[in-house]
Structure 1
Amino acid sequence: MIGFNELLWFSFALVDLSILLLIYRFFGKIGLYVSIVISIIICNIEVLKTVTLFGLTTTLGNVLYASIFLATDILSEMHGKEDARRGVILGFVALVLSTLYLQVALLFIPDGSDFAQPHLEALFGLLPRVALASMTAYLVSQMYDVWAFHAIREKTGVRHLWLRNNGSTLVSQFLDSLVFCVIAFAGVYPMSVFGEILLTTYGIKALVAVLDTPFMYLARRIGANQAALA
């Protein structure tokens, strides 16, 4: 059944992917780098909130996280493998630094008038296993995505953009979910619950991956127009 959460989720996905294209249109690859940094930081805050989507309990942040894969695919298609890898590393550095800086902020002794400390601790109190899982899954899956995108392109040439976009992203999204769930949850939940978390986490991300296909074609047109005007 399609309810408010589902409609809001679809609407946000379309708006977020459209904004990514607008940023690329006006700021080029620098805009994509900025989008990667913003998305990786915000989605790791959103992921703390659980919601019900399509009858499943899942976390927020999946739309923004999936848009990072679109950004790196655009970098791969229009600017090359090295620029895509640079975007991945930049996102990883932003994730590590934001995590560390927030932990330092929690160490400061709050003033008696402060009201934020317990809320910040609830949101950003470091869970080492989950933090390690998030960072490892991001780096492994994104590096694989860049490699797979170019491996498919070498086989097909410039044809079948949909294939390298979806082929690389769908597999890398599963790799991301698998690495994260194994590091964060293996041994914590029974295998049946672990499997359900893995499949639902991947399913939502995969839906965004398919949804971003027309945006990938629009991005290639934008990049071609920019190259023609350069």
Structure 2
Amino acid sequence: MTEGTDRPAHVAARALAGSHFRYFDFLMAAFCVVLVLSNVVGAAKVATLGGLTFGAGILFFPISYVLGDVLTEVYGYARARRVIWAGFAAAIFAAVMCWVIVIMPPAAGWAGQEVYEAAFGQVWRIVGASVAAFWVGEFVNSYVLARMKIWTQGRMLWTRTIGSTVFGQGVDSLIFYPLAFLGVWSNEQVMTVMITNWLMKVGWEAALTPVTYVVVNWLKRREGVDIYDEGTDFTPFRTRV
């Protein structure tokens, strides 16, 4: 399914339903790992560097959006949707696992219970907010990118990756920070971190654009297709490709 030796073939996504790709599974695994660790390890800590206050998870969570962009651009909306649902399930499992471990009675003489409660005691609220924000934000991100690819006829990838991130991360931040931290942080701190993190996420996406170009072009050549979501059903409420 290639045009010549280097240029991948332009293929409608629906024509490849059920097809297997060599690198898709690896990207799905990477997406789920980044998402879970960002939620569990990085979301609750507030850091200040150079006068900017932000959630520490911002350093790594945007990687999931970059991976989401790559998945949609290379494999199409339907396969990106499948990955989003996989990430959703992984985040729920992580929350349940943390909750069970925290509430289990500690053994006599074991002094780590307070540390565990401090580290993971807010996981339910954080993960609940994060899952809701992630689910909506990732689907907005993927939808905008897929539509823009058709509108731009596959040109100017940077407009799609940055444009979709502006909308997707904007929705994500608007949902996550109020749900997770109102009443825990001051209203001013919630607003400051929400706006700062949104700008930083978009900035990260822009900074990583050269990397995104390299990865996308390499994957398209290796997979031998350039998928366009022509005729795709964009409902988020399914996992079948």
Q: 1:194 Cα deviation (Å)?
A: 3.8
SS at match of 1:58: strand
Bigger shift: residues 126-135 or 106-115: 126-135
For the pair 1:207 / 2:199, whether they are aligned, the reply is no
TM-score by length of 1: 0.81
Counterparts of 2:202 and 2:91, CA distance in 1: 22
Q: Residue deviations 1:99-137, cap 9 Å, x none?
A: 011101122211113233221111111464433211111
Q: For residue 41 of structure 1, what is the aligned residue in structure 2?
A: 36
Do 1:46 and 1:61's aligned partners in 2 also have CA atoms closer than 8 Å?
Answer: yes
Counterparts of 1:116 and 1:190, CA distance in 2: 29
Do 1:43 and 1:61's aligned partners in 2 also have CA atoms closer than 8 Å?
Answer: yes
Counterparts of 1:141 and 1:90, CA distance in 2: 15
The structure with the largest strand share of the pair is: 2
Equivalent residues in 2 for 1:36-185 (5 A)? Answer: 36-44=31-39, 45-126=41-122, 128-185=124-181
Bigger shift: residues 127-136 or 49-58: 127-136
Q: Residue deviations 1:160-211, cap 9 Å, x none?
A: 1111111001221111111112323456666544432221121221221111
Structure with max Cα Rg: 2
SS at match of 1:61: helix
Counterparts of 1:42 and 1:228, CA distance in 2: 32
The structure with the largest helix share of the pair is: 1
Counterparts of 2:221 and 2:47, CA distance in 1: 40
Q: Structure 2: 5+ residue runs without aligned partners?
A: 1-21, 226-241
Q: Which amino acid aligns with 2:176?
A: F
Would the alpha carbon gap of residues 114 and 81 (structure 1) be closer, same or farther in structure 2, given more than 3 Å must change? same
| Cα RMSD for the two superposed structures | 2.1
Identity, in percent, stands at 26
Do 1:170 and 1:209's aligned partners in 2 also have CA atoms closer than 8 Å?
Answer: no
Q: Residue deviations 1:47-69, cap 9 Å, x none?
A: 23322123112221113210111
